[in-house]
Amino acid sequence: MLWVDKYRPRTLDKVIVHEEIAGNLKKLVSEQDCPHLLFYGPPGSGKKTLIMALLKQMFGPGAEKVKLENKMWKIDAGTRTIELELTMLSSTHHVELNPSDAGFQDRYIVQEIIKEMARNRPIDAKGKKGYKVLVLNEVDKLSREAQHSLRRTMEKYSVSCRLILCCNSSSKVTEAVRSRCLNIRVNAPTEEQIIKVLEFIGKKENLQLPPGFAARIAAQSNRSLRRAILSLETCRVQQYPFTANQAVSPMDWEQYVSEIASDIIMEQSPKRLFLVRGKVYELLVNCIPPEIILKKLLSELLKKLDSELKHEVCHWAAYYEHRMRLGQKAIFHIEAFVAKFMSIYKGFLIATFS
Partner 1 sequence: MGKRRPVVVLSSSSSEGQGEGRGGSATGGLESSKSRSRTAPPVSSKRPRVGKSRRVSSEASPELEVKFDWLSEDFCECLHEFRTTPGFTCTDGMELWVDKHKPRSLPELAVHKKKIEEVKKWMEERVKTPKEGFGNCALVITGQAGVGKSAAVHVIASQLEAELCEWMTPTPTLWQEYIHNTNSEIRYMSKLDEFENFVEKIRKYSLLHPMKIGGSSKPVILLIDDIPVTAGRVAFARLNKCLTTLTQSTQVPTIILITEYHKTESGDNATHYWEELVSSLERAGAYKVAFNPITVNSIRKTLNKICQEEKCHVTAEWIDQIAKASGGDIRHAITSLQYCCLKPDRFFSLPASSLSDSYCEMNSDKSNLLSNSSLEDGNPDCKISLPCGRDETLTIFHALGKFLHNKRVAVDLCARVAAVEPDSFPLQERFARNPLKMDTPEKILSQAHGQVQPIVDFLHENVLDFISDDEVDNVWLVTSYLSDADCLLGGVLRPTRHQLIPDIYEVESVAQSFAALVAIRGVLFANSKPSPSRWHTIRRPRLWQVEQSSRHNKTQMLLEKGEINNNSSLCSMSYIAAECRSAVKWLRAQTLLDVHKDENLLHYPEGREDNSDWSVMDQLKGSNSEESEEDDIEDW
Residues 305 and 313: their CA atoms lie apart, in Å, by 9
Nearer to partner 1, 27 or 278 (CB): 278
Query: What residue spans of 205-306 are helical by DSSP H?
Result: 213-220, 225-238, 252-266, 270-285, 290-303
Q: How far is the CB of 279 from partner 1 (least distance, A)?
A: 7
Cα dist. 294→84, 148, 179, 300 in Å? 30, 29, 31, 10
DSSP label of 123 = B
Nearer to partner 1, 19 or 69 (CB): 69
Nearer to partner 1, 309 or 336 (CB): 336
Q: How far is the CB of 327 from partner 1 (least distance, A)?
A: 4
Residues 140 and 293: their CA atoms lie apart, in Å, by 18
Query: Which residue type does 173 have?
Result: V
Task: Report yes or no: 243 and 207 within 8 Å, Cβ to Cβ.
Answer: no
Q: How far is the CB of 32 from partner 1 (least distance, A)?
A: 24
Beta-carbon contacts of 20 under 8 Å, excluding residues fewer than 6 positions away, are none
Alpha carbon of residue 15 to chain centroid: 19
Whether omega before 9 lies within 30 degrees of 0, making that bond cis, reads no
Q: How far is the CB of 128 from partner 1 (least distance, A)?
A: 27
Nearer to partner 1, 32 or 352 (CB): 352
Nearer to partner 1, 162 or 226 (CB): 226
Q: How far is the CB of 295 from partner 1 (least distance, A)?
A: 11
Q: How far is the CB of 17 from partner 1 (least distance, A)?
A: 17
User: Could you count the other beta carbons within 10 Å of the beta carbon of residue 90?
Assistant: 19
Nearer to partner 1, 32 or 354 (CB): 354
Instruction: Choose among 183, 195, 112: nearest CA to 149.
Output: 112
Nearer to partner 1, 179 or 239 (CB): 239
Instruction: Choose among 286, 228, 283: nearest CA to 260.
Output: 283
Q: How far is the CB of 131 from partner 1 (least distance, A)?
A: 20
Q: How far is the CB of 10 from partner 1 (least distance, A)?
A: 9
Nearer to partner 1, 212 or 278 (CB): 278
Residues 137 and 167: their CA atoms lie apart, in Å, by 6
